[in-house]
Structure 1
Amino acid sequence: MIQSKHCDLCEFPKRNLKNGLTCGLTDKKPDFRGFCSDIKFSDSFKEQLTELLNQIGQIKKRKTSVYFNFGLFVVIGLLIIFGSYPHLTEYLKKAFEPEFSYSDWKYFSLILLLEFVGILLLYMGFYPFNKYKKELNKLESDKKEIELVLKNYGIEIETLTNLEKIKKRHHNKAVYN
């Protein structure tokens, strides 16, 4: 396990260009195995964790609309592409005949435009879907890294965030009383 991942969650790390990462308590490089007995999770880490979990929740709320739009645009795009394909091949064959008229050219252009619209609809379905998946995977990956570190201390993310909520409630009660 990389010690810097533990130190990123702690209140005591020191970083500088000369020495790199050192512990603020011992002024030495981290040398523990598995877990640090002196770790104290920083308030900034707890805030970042809460923000991370909120971001994951917000993205997951968009799941239904993203999947619906994906399905809708892809189905319509494919229907347009496959529906106009036979006409496209017909006019492509005609294009190499000497009797290819101006009206044939207009229909051919219209069918090409339809094919382009179908491809554009596919893009409109796939791009937001891929963006959604990448955002969610990145945030879930960050969460898993934190979970791996917290596992060494026998702490689950939900426990840590619930403790913070309880502390805030007690603090708010003390302020209002």
Structure 2
Amino acid sequence: MFRLAAATTLALAAPFATQAQHADHSAGMTHGAALATLTEPGQGAFAALSEVVQLLESDPHTDWSRVDLDGLRAHLVDMDLLATRAQVETDAIDGGLTARATGDARVLAALRRMVPAHAEQLAADPSWTVSAEARDDHVVLTVTGDDAATTARIRGLGFFGLMASQDHHRAHHLAIARGEMPH
């Protein structure tokens, strides 16, 4: 008798539990509602694209014939591949480091596009010397400095920190979206 009552209760409650789950999910799906606590609309690349679109749409001087959001998306994909799928071996050398980065064909292509271009940005910092070289199956980034503090900074940043440093990324992404920069 107890088993029959328990089975009946479960059978009757299941549809209501499903409705409750969907009702809770739907309640938070009021698109366009302003929520003061949110800073990004989801996944990072989507959030970056959303932010750029909002800025372009609010700028009356946007030249829509030059806008290249596909180019920005491709660059964001390259950034993701570099950050999440590149395999990097780093060696300490006098004054800094040498990093060899590789991965599958897509990752290697992203590394070839990004590392030499970013090395140019890094070279703008006069406290270090930077070189990048694309080889058949990997990309090499070498960064050195002249003093112990700079050497420690370079090694502390490592490959990924160096690739993320020199806070030019937001301006660079907006320039790509506006069709102003090829990288």
- Measured against the shorter chain, the TM-score band is under 0.3
Q: TM-score scaled by structure 2?
A: 0.22
Q: TM-score scaled by structure 1?
A: 0.22
Q: Which structure shows the bigger proportion of residues in helix conformation?
A: 1
Q: Which structure shows the bigger proportion of residues in strand conformation?
A: 2
| Higher normalized contact order (CA 8 Å, seq sep 6+, divided by chain length) | 1
**Which has more radius of gyration?**
1
